[in-house]
Amino acid sequence: MLIENYTPFVGRGDVEEIKRLADSIRGAKVLHVNSTMVGGGVAEILHRLVPLMNDVGIDTDWQIFKGDENFFRITKKIHNLLHLPSAEGLDSREILTFHDYTCRNLGAIDTSPYDVVFIHDPQPVGLIIKRGNGQKWIWRCHIDVSTPTESVWRFVQTFSNGYDGSIFHVPEFISADLEIPAFIIPPSIDPLHDKNRDLEEDFVQSVLSRFGVDPDRPIVAQISRFDRLKDPIGLIRAYRIVRKTLDCQLLLAGSFADDDPEAVQVLEEIYAEIGKDPDIRLLNLPANSHLEINAFQRAATVVVQKSVREGFGLVVSEAMWKGKPVIGSYAGGIRRQIINESTGFFVHSIEGSAHRIKQLILNRELLEKMGRNAREQVRHNFLITRHLKDYLMVVKKLLKG
C-alpha cells in the first residue's frame, strides 16, 4: 500500500491509526473540486492526498472547475479582496461572469454519486447549488479571510453559508462572522516529494558548486518568491550586521512568476541592495527546481523566513523537516510552525534577526538541538499523514455525527 511508504517517517502506530480510521468510514465516496490540476499549493496537495485516500480504501475522485482567462482574472481579484479590505468591489459584469462559469460547471461536474464533497477555495464555491439530499459539502478555504473586503465576503457567503462546514488553516484566518462550522486543518508537506525527500550528499554538494555557493562557510538562506512582503531587503541588512563579525554567506533563492509584474521591480531592488557583495547569492530558479531548493535547505546552516505578511508559509516546515531551526517573523502560519526557542526563534526586527542568526551559527549545540526539535515538530504536525487523518476525521464527523 502507498500509505506504508510513510511508516519510516511516522511509525507503524500512526499508519495503523489511519487505516483503522478509514475502515470505519469504508464505503464513503468523496469528491474534491478545485480550479487547477497543476500549479499552486492546492493542486500539489491534492495530487498526493487523493491517491492516499483511495489507497486507504476511501473511493475518492478529483474534478476540475474550468474557467477562462477572464474568469480567473475575476477570481484572482476575489482572492485579493478576501485577503485584504479595499474600497474596490466586484462590478455587475464580474458578478455575472462568475455566475456564468458556475452555471457552465454545474453541468460539467457530476457531484451526485458522492457522499462528501470538498470544494477548494472561492472559484468553485457556487457549485453548492448542486448539493443533493443526504450529501455533506465542505468549503476548504486556503485564504486568510480574517479582514476581507466586506462586499466580496458577503458575495462569497451567499454560497458558503449553504455548506455543512468549512476548513481553514488556522483560526486567525477565519472571518468573525462566518456562519458555518469551521474545522482547523493546517496544510502539510510530503516527505516523499522531491522538495523534501532525502538527498545524497554528493548531489547537495554538486548543486552548491553549480550555483557558486561555498560549502565550507556557514550559509544563511531564505527561500521565497521575490516579494516585498517576504522582506528580502530586511534580511540582507540583518546579514550585513552578522557579517561584521562573522564569516558567512547569504542565499536568497526563489522563483520568478511571469505574471507578477511587481516581481521584476522587487528583483531590481534586491540587486541594488546587494551591490557588489560577492557573498550574497540571489538565485532566480525555474518553478520546478524542487531538488535544488531541497539541496539548498539541507546545505543551509540557518534558514530565515522574515516575511512581513504570510499565508501559511509551508517553506518553514520544509526547512524544519530537514533539521534546520528557522528564524521567522511572527506572521501568518509561521506562528503556528515555529515553537519559539525550541524549534527556532521569532524575530521582530532586523537587529533581532541578526542576533539569532549569529547565535545559531556560533552555538553548534543549540543549532543541532533546535534542528532535532524542528524535525520532530514537522513529523507530528505538518506531514501529509496528519493531513490525511484530519480529512478522514472530518468525513467521519460529517457522515456519522
Partner 1 sequence: MILEQEILANKNEKMKRFIFRSELWVTQYTGIRVDTLSDFRRAIADADDDTLYYHLFRNMFEYHFLIPTYSNSFAYWFSESGRYILAERFSIIDPLAYTSLNDVRREILEILDNAGEERRRFKTPFYFRRAVRDVVELGMEARGLKSFIKCFESSGIYSLFYHLVSARLRLGAPTNDYSEWLRTAGQDGIASQIEALNPWMFDFYEIKRFILNILKNGSEQKG
Binding site for partner 1 (CB under 8 A): 11-14, 16-17, 20-21, 24, 168, 171-172, 174, 176, 178, 181-185, 339, 342, 373, 376-377, 379-381, 389-390, 393-394, 396-397
C-alpha to C-alpha distance for 78 and 74, rounded to whole angstroms: 6
Is 8 in a helix, a strand, or coil?
helix
In the complex, the smallest distance separating the C-beta of residue 10 from partner 1, rounded to whole angstroms, is 8
Of the pair 65, 312, the CB lying nearest partner 1 is at: 312
In the complex, the smallest distance separating the C-beta of residue 298 from partner 1, rounded to whole angstroms, is 21
Of the pair 47, 396, the CB lying nearest partner 1 is at: 396
In the complex, the smallest distance separating the C-beta of residue 147 from partner 1, rounded to whole angstroms, is 13
- Contact 382/189 with Cβ under 8 angstroms? yes
C-alpha to C-alpha distance for 350 and 361, rounded to whole angstroms: 17
How many residues are there in the chain? Answer: 401
C-alpha to C-alpha distance for 148 and 138, rounded to whole angstroms: 20
Of the pair 66, 397, the CB lying nearest partner 1 is at: 397
The DSSP output letter for 63 is E
Q: Where are the alpha helices (DSSP H) in 56-184?
A: 69-83, 92-108, 150-160
The phi, psi pair for 137, rounded to 5°, reads -115, 135
Of the pair 274, 378, the CB lying nearest partner 1 is at: 378
Q: Looking up cell 457530476, which residue turns up? A: 110
Distances in Å between the Cα of 348 and the Cα atoms of 100, 306, 308, 325, 345 are 46, 9, 9, 17, 10
- Contact 350/292 with Cβ under 8 angstroms? no
Of the pair 20, 154, the CB lying nearest partner 1 is at: 20
Of the pair 40, 352, the CB lying nearest partner 1 is at: 352
In the complex, the smallest distance separating the C-beta of residue 17 from partner 1, rounded to whole angstroms, is 5
In the complex, the smallest distance separating the C-beta of residue 101 from partner 1, rounded to whole angstroms, is 30
In the complex, the smallest distance separating the C-beta of residue 41 from partner 1, rounded to whole angstroms, is 20
Q: Could you write out the three-class secondary structure of 276-310? A: CCCCEEEEEECCCCHHHHHHHHHHCCEEEECCCCC
In the complex, the smallest distance separating the C-beta of residue 11 from partner 1, rounded to whole angstroms, is 6
In the complex, the smallest distance separating the C-beta of residue 21 from partner 1, rounded to whole angstroms, is 5
Of the pair 267, 339, the CB lying nearest partner 1 is at: 339
DSSP-derived secondary structure for 231-278? -HHHHHHHHHHHHTTS--EEEEEEE--TT-HHHHHHHHHHHHHHTT-T
Of the pair 16, 368, the CB lying nearest partner 1 is at: 16
Is 108 in a helix, a strand, or coil?
helix
Burial profile 215-242: b = 16 or more Cβ within 10 angstroms, e = fewer: eeebbbbbbbebbbebbbbbbbebbebb
Say how many C-beta atoms besides its own lie within 10 A of residue 344's C-beta: 30
Of the pair 50, 339, the CB lying nearest partner 1 is at: 339
In the complex, the smallest distance separating the C-beta of residue 168 from partner 1, rounded to whole angstroms, is 7
C-alpha to C-alpha distance for 367 and 313, rounded to whole angstroms: 21
C-alpha to C-alpha distance for 169 and 165, rounded to whole angstroms: 14
In the complex, the smallest distance separating the C-beta of residue 389 from partner 1, rounded to whole angstroms, is 6
Of the pair 225, 396, the CB lying nearest partner 1 is at: 396
- Contact 63/33 with Cβ under 8 angstroms? yes
In the complex, the smallest distance separating the C-beta of residue 109 from partner 1, rounded to whole angstroms, is 27
Of the pair 176, 272, the CB lying nearest partner 1 is at: 176
